[in-house]
Amino acid sequence: MNSQIAIYMDSTDFLQMNLQAKDVIDRVEEEYGVSSYGSIKYSKNELYRIGYVYRFFSFTYELSTLQVYKLVKPKELRELFLPYHTMDPSQAIERILEAKGLFQNEEKELQRQFEIYKKIRFII
């Protein structure tokens, strides 16, 4: 979460590039080196989905990767992988936040979603 690629992806500049999952992994390995550290090993599907949810969460809620990481840890996302992996990422995030009792102000949430809609509409 402290890698240069994570910081880069927090800016909207990365939206103009065609970064593949392999490119991201290569950049992290360049920065930190290949590691077999840790006792918990994630499958490729779990890593992809967890990364996708983090990016989606970060982009739509306008939070940095580190802020999202502090709200929801990878272990928690891994435990929710099977029940939530077929959901739309926004639905999964809403359920996670609801379970934690976060972001419950309905009016602010609707305004936030409308602002995202306007951004997306004018990007395309």
Q: What is the pTM of this model?
A: 0.68
Secondary structure of residue 5 in the 3-state scheme: helix
The Cα 79–Cα 86 span in angstroms is 14
Contacts with 4 (C-beta within 8 Å, 6 or more apart), sequence order = 27, 31
Contacts with 101 (C-beta within 8 Å, 6 or more apart), sequence order = none
What pLDDT, on a 0 to 100 scale, did the predictor assign at position 28? 80
Number of domains in the chain: 1
7-52 residue pLDDT tens: 777 777 766 778 787 888 888 888 888 777 777 777 878 888 888 8
The Cα 88–Cα 12 span in angstroms is 22
Amino acid identity at 115:
E
76-89 residue pLDDT tens: 988 988 888 888 88
Q: Are 92 and 60 in contact (CB under 8 A)?
A: no
Range of the domain at 45: 4-123
Determine how many CB atoms are found less than 10 A away from the CB of residue 54: 22
Rounded mean pLDDT of the chain?
82
